[in-house]
Structure 1
Amino acid sequence: MLSVSVLDANRSELAADFSGATPAYARLDDSAIKEGYFKHIRYLVREFKPDYLVIGIEVNELKLRSPEKWDAYRNLITDVKSRIRQLYPALKISESISLHNLYEADVSDPQSHVEDIMNHINQNDFVAVSFYPFLKNLRTNTDFQRALEFLHKQAIAPIALVETAHIAQNLLIPNLNVSIEGTENEQRAYLETVLENADSQGYEFIIWWAHRDFDALWETFPDEVRDIGQLWRDTGLLDENGEERPAFSVWQSYFKKSCQELGAKFGLPFLAH
């Protein structure tokens, strides 16, 4: 899977160029932006040859933070998608949504907001989902299941969790006014819930981000991104020392089961065993 975004990290503005400046534009669907993003995506697909393409990341957050740009964004991305599909008809294309910011969205008319987002997203080849339940303060099996059932009711196309994780220890970031409790058992419970739903609902795939705590990498982050980077630092199935957390055995068990099923289906004994 290849994941690319035309939006900045806050999902409220066009991404900066190589100089770090935001290009001047009147609307997100200006012809120059359409042409530039098409050429960018065409180059990346040609180089990486993905089976799945996420052509926009957590795009529902643009409607939350810069709603006046939403219609122009849809025009932009629809134009680029149609041109890429003509070149690569077998490529599965989508735009990801952040479930933690769509489920129980903090807007004046949640139903209309969700309908508008999903009417657009369901036109894709699959529904690409980013989900970090701790950012919504979801902590129990019941919480996790309700959020996923909400997703199932909204999605028409097949679902893929293109990035997901849950913290395994408390998250405290004073500069962001963030204080969230987390435990290894909560992480395990979330992963179990996700995998059970993936099995029963036929998800395309799941990507856990990241598989190991990145404390050592985080220490090298520039000051301006250290706080935001800490949000996902302690979500690994392995801790910062490479020690397995309880959720790791859950992942391994499901992975082995999937391999066995594939091996039996296609007569590949090295997978079945």
Structure 2
Amino acid sequence: MAAFTACSNDNEVAPPGPTVVRPDREGAPRSFAMGFSTMPAEETIPSYINAFATAARYGELVMINRAPPWEEFFPNHQPSEETNSTARLEADLLDQYEGLSLVFAIDPTDPVVQRERVANLPASVTPAEGFGNIDLRNAFVAYAGYVVRNYEPEYLALGVEINMLRSRNPEQYRQFLSLYEEAYDSVKATHPETKVFPTFQLEDLEGLLGDVHASEWEVLDDFQGRMDVLAVSSYPYLAEEFRSAGDIREQYYLQLGEHFAGEILLVDTAYASAPIAGERVAGTEADQDAFLQRLLQDVEAAGYSGVIWRAAFDPQYAGTGALAVFRSIGLRLGDGTN
């Protein structure tokens, strides 16, 4: 932290991020908010800070996606200095870039295995227990409270792409549902203005990922009365049905309003600009641009409240493994060039 703060002569602490100047807008004004997640170009603190600065320069939303540090919120434990210092840095960045609204996503499931299990389980909790373990449940609620106290987000996601857990591990999903209700009520009791919801994975809702199946929009009913926003992620380049942006059905994004009458937010969306090794995806920059234009047009036409692109810059560390599908999703190269 010391490398990113300094004191002036009047003892004021310098802001942690660079000064940003928003470019003049071109074209017709838009009715929705835009932004980026904090996925950095490099796994360094300066690059992470730059992710905030980029969101502030070009948009109005920034999204933090984080798995709970489970054991730190177990009985007789407390948040680590790393957790607290990260919260202080991020809160300072949000204060500096005061035009940004925060979407904080508490992400308790493992994306590497298509979210069929709890992520980063402590050794004392078996996968079979998962969301049924009382210490884990209490930690989830406690961490949600920590987030709203320290970040005061406008939007709080309790669970990410949660429909994938439902179809892959029904028992864990059942346990999560009751935990979600408990956490939702706890947050609302102290911060009623916070918009609380889970996120859903659109391609999986439509049955287009992995094993093709019928659409599963009925999952939204499980959260009736405790879902302030419909928030979906979308990576259509990973769906078997879409070989290019032009293949995406006309109503693909416009249909969201048919399933939810309230505020709708597209979070965590992207499209590859280059082929991905070992995958059928053959993205191009032109195809990525076509998808982006289509997405923004649909969000505007449907009156949705906002859209968040996963990464402003190509993540340079995403060369292999599960992250490889995100290697070329940035709107700029990892070094910042176009």
TM-score range, shorter chain: 0.7 to 0.9
Distance 2:321 2:134 in 1: 36
Contact conserved, 2:274 with 2:283, CA < 8 A, in 1?
yes
**Could you tell me how far 1:109 is from its partner in structure 2?**
6.8
Look up the match of 1:141.
Answer: 246
Contact persistence 1:14–1:22 (CA under 8 A): no
Counterpart CA distance in 1 for 2:236 and 2:249 is: 7
Q: How far is 1:22 from its partner?
A: 6.8
**2:213 & 2:314 partners in 1: Cα distance?**
38
Cα deviation for residue 189 of structure 1 reads 1.2
Residues in 2 aligned to 1:156 and 1:73: alpha-carbon distance in whole angstroms: 24
| Amino acid of the structure 1 residue aligned with 2:307 | I
1:187 aligns with 2:281: no
The structural deviation recorded for 1:33 is: 3.0
Q: In structure 1, how many angstroms separate the alpha carbons of the residues matched to 2:307 and 2:194?
A: 18
Structure 1: how far apart are the matches of 2:259 and 2:208? Answer: 14
1:145-167 per-residue CA deviation (whole Å, 9 max, x = no partner) reads 33213433223332111111000
Residues 141, 186 of structure 2: 8 Å contact kept: yes
Query: Is 1:159 the equivalent of 2:259?
Result: no
- Please tell me the residue identity of whatever aligns with 2:322: I
Q: Normalising to structure 2: TM-score of the pair?
A: 0.62
User: Greater CA deviation, 22-31 or 69-78?
Assistant: 22-31
Query: Would you say the 8 A contact 2:125–2:133 is kept in 1?
Result: no
SS in 2 for 1:57: coil
Partners of 2:212 and 2:272 lie apart in 1 by 30
Deviations for 1:79-123, whole angstroms, at most 9, x for unmatched residues?
Answer: 111111111100001111111111135779735x321x1213454
Check the 8 A contact 1:122/1:157 in 2, yes or no: no
Cα separation, 1, equivalents of 2:336 and 2:328:
12
Matched, 1:209 2:288: no
Please point out which of 83, 88, 103 is paired with 2:186: 83
Within-5 A mapping of 1:164-243: 164-173=269-278, 178-215=279-316, 217-218=317-318, 226-243=320-337
Distance 1:61 1:14 in 2: 12
What does the per-residue CA deviation read over 1:126-171, in whole Å, with 9 as the maximum and x for residues that have no partner? Answer: 0111111111142233515332134332233321111110001111
Q: Is the 8 A contact 1:15 1:22 kept in 2?
A: no
Query: Could you list the per-position Cα deviations for residues 17-50 of structure 1 after superposition, in whole angstroms to 9, with x for gaps in the alignment?
Result: 4x5x472364624543332211111112211221
Q: Aligned equivalents of 1:199 and 1:233: distance in 2?
A: 28
Percent identity, aligned pairs only, is: 23
Code of the aligned partner of 2:105: S
* Residues 148-202 of structure 1 deviation map (CA, whole Å, 9 limit, x = unaligned): 13433223332111111000111123xxxx2211111111111111111111222
User: Taking structure 1 as reference, are residues 188 and 83 closer, same or farther at Cα in structure 2, changes over 3 Å only?
Assistant: same
- Give 3-state SS (helix, strand or coil) of 2:200's partner: strand
Distance change in 2, residues 1:96/1:153 (3 Å) = same
Higher relative contact order, structure no. (Cα contacts within 8 Å, ≥ 6 residues apart)? 2
| Structure 1 residues 211 and 108, CA gap change in structure 2 (3 angstroms) | closer
Please give the alpha-carbon distance, in whole angstroms, between the structure 2 residues aligned to 1:83 and 1:98.
25
Structure 1 residues 241, 205: closer, same or farther in 2, change over 3 A? same
Equivalent residue for 1:16, pick from 112, 120, 128: 120
2:253 maps to a residue whose letter is L
RMSD in angstroms over aligned alpha carbons? 2.3
- Which of 10, 31, 39 is the aligned partner of 2:142? 39
**SS of the counterpart of 2:266?**
strand
Query: Which of 221, 232, 235 matches 1:119?
Result: 221
Aligned pair in 2 of structure 1 residues 141, 108: CA closer, same or farther (>3 Å)? closer
Partner of 1:132 in structure 2? 235
Structure 1 residues 26, 171: closer, same or farther in 2, change over 3 A?
closer
- Counterpart residue number, 1:251: none
**1:38 alignment partner, SS class:** helix
Count of residues paired in the alignment: 229
Which deviates the most, 6-15 or 88-97?
6-15
- The SS at the match of 1:110 is coil
Q: Per residue, is there more helix in 1 or in 2?
A: 1
> CA 1:109–1:39 in 2, change beyond 3 Å: closer, same or farther?
same
Instruction: Classify 1:104/1:27 alpha carbon distance in 2 versus 1 (closer, same or farther; 3 Å).
Output: closer
Partners of 1:60 and 1:102 within 8 A in 2: yes
Separation (CA, whole Å) in 2 of partners of 1:200 and 1:135: 25
